[in-house]
Chains A and B, each alone.
Chain A
Amino acid sequence: MRDRSTGYPRNAWYALAASAEIGATPFGTRALDTPAVLFRTRDGAVAALGDRDAHRPFPLSLGHVDGDTIVSGYSGFAYDRTGACVRVPSQQHVPYGAGVPAYPVREDGGLVWVWLGEPSLAARRPPVPVPWLTDPAWETFGGQWETAAGVGLLHDNFADITHVAVVDPVISPPVLAGVAPALEVELTETTVHFQREWPAAPMPEWQAKISGASPTAAYPQREEGAFLAPGLWADRWDVLVPAEDGGPQTFRFTHAVTPVDERRTRHLWRVSRNFAPGQSVSDVLRPIFESYYLKVREILETMQQVIDRDGYGEDVNVAADLAALQVRKILRRLVADEG
């Protein structure tokens, strides 16, 4: 049987944390089966280092930050943002060449993106900008957690939203329960965009409530999804409300997916909207989206358990899977390029 797992490329920007999580306290995490520690230096920049003291197998994240260095809680070895060991307590000079790996970091959209692959490629593959996450025209909330499923299962999930009506009829726009209109897929070498023009239908009740629009009027709706990089999906849903009824309402859904290892994935999700501003509305929306994404997590974890137990099967694909298959194709190639 063909191995249906695509694995994941290392040469990509992955979100390891939200910016707000990183300060002068070491933040230990794991991505691509690699231990990493993040901390902020005095100039406000985030440093990302291998989370293992060069002296003994002890995580640096269990130590402390001292100025622009991180100090091991066991050996007392101090490392600067380049990973070089700059101080050891027991002797005058630093052991020649002692250090830990340092990884390129970019902060964008309130997320900390780290490049754990071939270091020379980081500057040659700029991260995809996510300006809407910090644009005041968009109100954003979100959450994050680890899903006990391989990243490939998350990609498959984001590549097709026709399951939403089955998984969560409350959150789902009612139109999703019908037969899906033709999916339009646009490819580039490393990205997949897809969209569907849905027929006019009412918006979900909760959306009518927060936006003050009519819960019964039918508005045309538009779905868009985009696999922009191995660690980033940016999707959107437009309800084309005419100007006299308040104008179009758009949600953007941003999913940063970071493989922890073959079977676990960090999922940082953000929901942005350009209508019904205000914290109180976000407080209404958050539990609705959180409960949906938690259901998805549970389902994907179950799928991973089935695969672990019974292996990959010859899944039957349907027309709606076209985008998912193109994403897999790109990922397979990117993994193969790494030799």
Chain B
Amino acid sequence: MTTQPIVREFEADLTVVSAVEAASDVVTLTLAAEDGSALPPWTPGAHIDLVLGEDLVRQYSLCGSPADSGQWRIGVLRTPDSRGGSKAVHAELVEGARVRVRGPRNHFPLVASPRYLFLAGGIGITPMLPMIAEAEASGADWRLVYGGRSRSSMAFLDELAAYGDRVTLLPQDEAGMPDLDALLGAAAPDTLVYACGPTGLLDAVEQRCSASWPAGSLHLERFAARPADPSAEADTGFELVLQRSGLTLSVPPDQSVFEVCRAAGVSVVGSCLEGVCGTCETEVIDGEVDHRDSILNDEEKESNEFMMICVSRCRGDRLTLDL
């Protein structure tokens, strides 16, 4: 008899209750259980997977109200995506359609703070909507700078209008690119920075914050993996000790920790398998981790307490995990 535990995330087939064009190339989907039963709770910054087909899984931030347990709302941008994820959403997920979802999970949680600077680029506005609602309710001092290609491409402008001059809209064709030096050149006291948007924006934000802001000030979410470091040396193999399972395995250079665990029959959860979704986060007991993910910040990487086993590896010969 096997005693190896099986772990997985909540999964359900939900119905598209409404599909509304929110801006050019952006559709907002409202999802609910067919029988109206309550969906799992979530907090601002959370995202879900849409399972669009075999090997076609995409992450979308929840952008409705966490108090509404009856339905979830997501915003989807149609992108020239080679694997067709967002195209499938736009073409197939019409009102009444069914879609498999997984999650929610949250690697972009809103940490309590007296002040916030929210920076959104394009569809990166979605996780910000529940965040600013919560910041506003708590009486925090906050500001949102929201950039996009043009006003017509920027979703949720109607909802944001209610916040008045806390929100700065920067349609690129009218206002140019956001002046990140002015926004982030000097650290503001007691302020957390939340950023979500295209990779270029996030890289630029990260660079400025690491230069002049206290560690831990910046929270960002990437939905695309950071490009591999070209200077990195070739991957090496190492010994993998799974303490709870009582197994010692070997990770060859061309396989991930996640793959080796799966192959050995150890139940591990994973979703994106490219270090962006955070599902496979695992506690490290011993060994120096070579972090390759796009989730943990420098401080968290330094602590060596957790790792994303889908992409991260070991710098030494031996890695011990709490699995």
Near B by CB (< 8 A), chain A positions 101-138 give 118, 120-121, 123-126, 128-129
Bound-complex Cα distance A317 to B137 (A): 41
* Cβ contacts under 8 Å, B298 to chain A: none
Bound-complex Cα distance A336 to B67 (A): 21
Contacts A124-B134, A189-B106; A336 near B1 (Cβ below 8 A): no
Bound-complex Cα distance A191 to B9 (A): 10
Contacts A181-B1, A191-B41; A120 near B8 (Cβ below 8 A): no
State whether the Cβ of A61 lies closer than 8 Å to any Cβ in chain B.
no
Which of the candidate stretches A214-222, A281-289, A291-299, A319-327 sits at the interface with the other chain? A319-327
Which of the candidate stretches B77-85, B109-117, B119-127 sits at the interface with the other chain? B109-117
Bound-complex Cα distance A188 to B47 (A): 11
- 8 Å CB contact of B5 from A185, A191, A329: A185
Over the window 19-57 of chain B, the binary record of Cβ atoms lying under 8 Å from chain A Cβ atoms (1 yes, 0 no) is 000000000000000000010111100100000000000
Beta-carbon contact of A187 and B9 below 8 Å: yes
* Cβ contacts under 8 Å, B139 to chain A: 120
Beta-carbon contact of A338 and B322 below 8 Å: no
Our count of residue pairs bridging A and B at CB distance below 8 angstroms stands at 116
State whether the Cβ of B232 lies closer than 8 Å to any Cβ in chain A.
no
Beta-carbon contact of A182 and B2 below 8 Å: yes
Residue of B nearest to A191 (CB): B40
* Cβ contacts under 8 Å, A120 to chain B: 134, 137-139
Q: How close is A226's CB to chain B, nearest CB, in angstroms?
A: 11
Contacts A124-B137, A186-B10; A321 near B3 (Cβ below 8 A): no
* Cβ contacts under 8 Å, B109 to chain A: 333, 336-337
Q: How close is A318's CB to chain B, nearest CB, in angstroms?
A: 6
Beta-carbon contact of A317 and B3 below 8 Å: no
* Cβ contacts under 8 Å, B138 to chain A: 118, 120-121
Bound-complex Cα distance A322 to B323 (A): 8
* Cβ contacts under 8 Å, B103 to chain A: 188-189
Near A by CB (< 8 A), chain B positions 87-144 give 103-106, 109-113, 133-134, 137-139
Bound-complex Cα distance A68 to B195 (A): 47
Bound-complex Cα distance A322 to B6 (A): 9
* Cβ contacts under 8 Å, A118 to chain B: 112, 138
State whether the Cβ of A20 lies closer than 8 Å to any Cβ in chain B.
no
Bound-complex Cα distance A187 to B65 (A): 21
Q: How close is B267's CB to chain A, nearest CB, in angstroms?
A: 8
Bound-complex Cα distance A319 to B103 (A): 23
Contacts A188-B40, A189-B42; A337 near B111 (Cβ below 8 A): yes
* Cβ contacts under 8 Å, A189 to chain B: 40-43, 46, 103-106
* Cβ contacts under 8 Å, A41 to chain B: none
Q: How close is A46's CB to chain B, nearest CB, in angstroms?
A: 21
Contacts A336-B111, A339-B111; A187 near B269 (Cβ below 8 A): yes
Beta-carbon contact of B105 and A183 below 8 Å: no
Residue of B nearest to A228 (CB): B41
Q: How close is A187's CB to chain B, nearest CB, in angstroms?
A: 5
Beta-carbon contact of A121 and B40 below 8 Å: no
Beta-carbon contact of B6 and A182 below 8 Å: yes
State whether the Cβ of A56 lies closer than 8 Å to any Cβ in chain B.
no
State whether the Cβ of A93 lies closer than 8 Å to any Cβ in chain B.
no
Q: List 17 A-B contacts (CB under 8 A).
A: A2-B305, A120-B137, A124-B134, A125-B66, A125-B67, A182-B2, A185-B5, A187-B7, A187-B105, A189-B104, A229-B41, A316-B243, A325-B283, A325-B322, A326-B7, A333-B106, A339-B112
Contacts A188-B105, A189-B104 known; list 14 others, CB within 8 Å. A2-B305, A180-B3, A182-B2, A182-B5, A184-B6, A187-B7, A188-B10, A188-B104, A189-B106, A317-B243, A320-B5, A333-B106, A337-B109, A337-B111
- The interface of chain B, by Cβ under 8 A from chain A, is 1-10, 38, 40-43, 46, 65-67, 69, 103-106, 109-113, 133-134, 137-139, 243-245, 269, 281, 283, 305, 322
